[in-house]
Amino acid sequence: MVSFSLVYDILRWEEKEIINEAKKREINLNTLEIKNVNFKLDKNVEKSLKEEIFLQRCTSSTRRLFSTAILEYAGGQVINNFQTNLISSNKLLTNIILLKNRIPAPLSYVSFSEDSCIKSSEMLGFPLVFKPIVGSWGRFVHKIRDQYELKNILEYRSFLNSMYKEVFYIQEYVEKPCRDIRCIVVGDEIVATIYRYQANDDFRTNVALGGKVEEARLSDGQKEIFFKVKEAIGGEILGIDAMEKKDQILINEINSSVEFGGAAKVAGKKIVESILNYIVKKGKR
Amino acid sequence: METKYISCIECKGNIEVPDDAMVGELLECPDCGKIYEIKEVKNGKIDYKEAEAISEDWGE
Ligand SMILES: Nc1ncnc2c1ncn2[C@@H]1O[C@H](COP(=O)(O)OP(=O)(O)OP(=O)(O)O)[C@@H](O)[C@H]1O
Ligand SMILES: [Mg+2]
Ligand SMILES: [Zn+2]
């Protein structure tokens, strides 16, 4: 019987789906509630886990990243691995990997002071999008129409205790058709592709913000780009987001603890089933 | 099995606990919307606390 451990901090709908699906099958699912764990870092840790499989599903990206580092050091096989978590949890590092692999992404500028950010905005032009390099669910992702708005945001931000406050990341505002594309990849297979439509008059399409979903039929050329992203970043189970700009697609970000409640409205049980099939196959290798 | 409830600290409302409740699960008070997190499940007894606030590194 295949065993694996689900690593989590809070249980979202997705984690419960995974647990319920595992119960239906000959799979022994253990849980590792990361908030109640004490890792002793001594020499006995190394390789103590003997290839055990972990499905990393923490909601906090820092818990995800650092618990993965420890589990890997201890010899565990973590889905997704440390490197994938490191890159995908950070929009700037993701952007660099995309560039390196010649994968199209929105034109972005990075700077390290408010004044330079204002200069970058002049080079980029308005409207633009200002976003924290760490974060999700659309939090603090702002569309900025002119320099006055940018200065306002910078002023408010200067009073926040945010993680990477000294890093200023802005990008071209992509005139997309009111939606973006979410592609869920499990192993070597694309298991779901959906459009996420923006809610009300928000430019953000996050399902967490109320965005609606619809099945997306992608061309082979578009699928090729998503596979390329997966190759570039590594990882085994990913949610890749892209925006359409005329007839091009631009990769926006990569999610390593993908939420698939929205996509499941279109793809049904296929996503959770593929995840477990994948783990079973990996466990038998 | 009889239905389990926990009591809302804020408004004393009754919050239903599902049979398969697990540590880390979030439960919302139907009356006031406050969210709780299950801390421990031991011999059928549920220990809970106010849910952790969303922090900037949370998400997918
Ligand atoms: N450069 C851009 N131009 C136009 N719209 C954008 C741009 N960047 C982001 N958006 C929109 O804003 C939303 C949130 O942006 P982004 O995905 O970068 O942030 P997030 O907080 O990481 O969201 P997620 O929950 O998908 O992880 C996206 O769904 C996208 O539709
Ligand atoms: Mg996104
Ligand atoms: Zn209440």
CATH number reported for the structural domain that contains residue A38 in this entry: 3.40.50.20
Q: Which residue, by CA, sits nearest to atom 27 of ligand 1? A: A136
Do A167 and A186 sit in the same domain of this protein?
A: no
Q: Please tell me whether residues A222 and A201 are part of one structural domain.
A: yes
CB atoms within 10 A of CB A89: 26
Give residue A33's domain range: 3-87+276-283
Using the atom order of ligand 1, give the atom closest to the CA of residue A207: 25
- Residue A48 has a pLDDT of 85
In a domain, A247, yes or no: yes
Task: Name chain B contacts of A9, Cβ cutoff 8 Å.
Answer: 24
Domain B4-50 has CATH 1.10.1060: no
Does one domain contain both A44 and A57?
Answer: yes
- A158 lies in a domain? yes
Q: What is the predicted pLDDT for the residue at A212? A: 87
- Assess whether A181 and A207 both reside in one domain: yes
The structure tokens 């990361």 sit at A34
Closest CA to A93 of A258, A256, A203, A257: A256
Give me the phi and psi of A119, to 5 degrees please: -65, -45
Q: How far is it, in rounded angstroms, from Cα A94 to Cα A193?
A: 21
Contact criterion met (CB below 8 Å) for A76 and A54: yes
Say if A136 falls within a structural domain: yes
Residue with tokens 């869920």: A184
Q: Is the preceding omega at residue A206 within 30 degrees of 0, hence cis?
A: no
Q: Which of A200, A264, A273 is nearest to A12 (CA)?
A: A264
The set of residues, in sequence order, having a beta carbon less than 8 Å from that of A19 and lying 6+ positions away, is A6, A29, A31, B22
Nearest ligand (C-alpha, residue A141): 1
Ligand 1 touching residue A141 (CB < 6 A): yes
Residue B18: cis peptide before it, omega within 30 degrees of 0 = no
Q: Is the pLDDT of residue B12 over 90?
A: yes
**Mean pLDDT (chain A, rounded):** 95
Instruction: Identify the segments of chain A with pLDDT beneath 70.
Output: none
The Cα of A34 is separated from the nearest Cα of chain B by a number of Å equal to 10
Residues A213 and A199 in one domain: yes
A100 within domain boundaries: no
Pair (A151, A227) in one structural domain:
no
Ligand 1 lined by A15 (C-beta under 6 Å): no
Per-residue model confidence (pLDDT) at position A209 = 75
Q: Judge if the beta carbon of residue A131 lies within 6 A of ligand 1.
A: yes
Six-digit token pair at A106?
A: 């929105």
A43–chain B nearest CA distance, Å: 30
Residue A101 lies in a domain: no
Kindly state whether B56 is in contact with chain A, defined as any CB-CB distance less than 8 angstroms.
yes
- Cα–Cα distance measured from residue A35 to residue B24, given in angstroms and rounded to the nearest whole number: 9
Backbone conformation region of residue A268, classed left if phi is above 0, alpha if psi is from -120 to 50, else beta: left
A225 in a structural domain? yes
Helices A114-124 + A147-158 axis angle, to 10: 150
Contact (Cβ atoms closer than 8 angstroms) between residue B27 and residue B48: yes
Q: Does B53 touch chain A (CB under 8 A)?
A: no
Which pLDDT score is estimated for A35?
Answer: 95
Whether residues A161 and A82 fall in one domain: no
Is A10 in contact with B59 (Cβ distance < 8 A)? no
Token duo for residue A14: 């997705």
Q: Is residue A29 part of a domain?
A: yes
Q: For residues A202 and A211, what is the distance between their CA atoms, to the nearest angstrom?
A: 9
Q: Cβ(A136)–Cβ(B58) under 8 Å?
A: yes
Mutate-to-test residue for ligand 1 from A93, A136, A206, highest number of ligand atoms within 8 A of CB: A206
Q: Are residues A182 and A154 in the same domain?
A: no
Q: ipTM of this predicted complex?
A: 0.92
Going from the Cα of A273 to the center of ligand 2, the distance in angstroms, rounded, reads 24
pTM recorded for the entire structure = 0.95
Closest-CA residue to A117 (of A159, A166, A174): A166
Nearest residue of A to residue B25, measured between CA atoms: A11
Q: Which residues of B touch A239 (CB under 8 A)?
A: 60
Tell me how crowded residue A161 is: count the other CB atoms within 10 A of its CB.
6
A230: domain CATH number? 3.30.470.20
Same domain for A189 and A220, yes or no, is yes
State the pLDDT confidence band at B1, using cuts at 50, 70 and 90: low
At A209, which helix (H) or strand (E)?
none
- Chain A closest-CA separation from residue B25 CA (Å): 5
Cα pseudo-dihedral A129, A131, A136, A139, rounded to 10: -80
For residue B33, the CA-to-ligand 3 centroid distance in Å is 6
pLDDT tens for residues A83-136? 999 999 999 999 999 999 999 999 999 999 999 999 999 999 999 999 999 999
Q: Which of B22, B25, B40, B56 to mutate to test binding with chain A, by most A CBs within 10 Å of its CB?
A: B56
Is residue A194 within 8 A of residue A139, CB to CB? The reply is no
Residues A165 and A243 in one domain: no
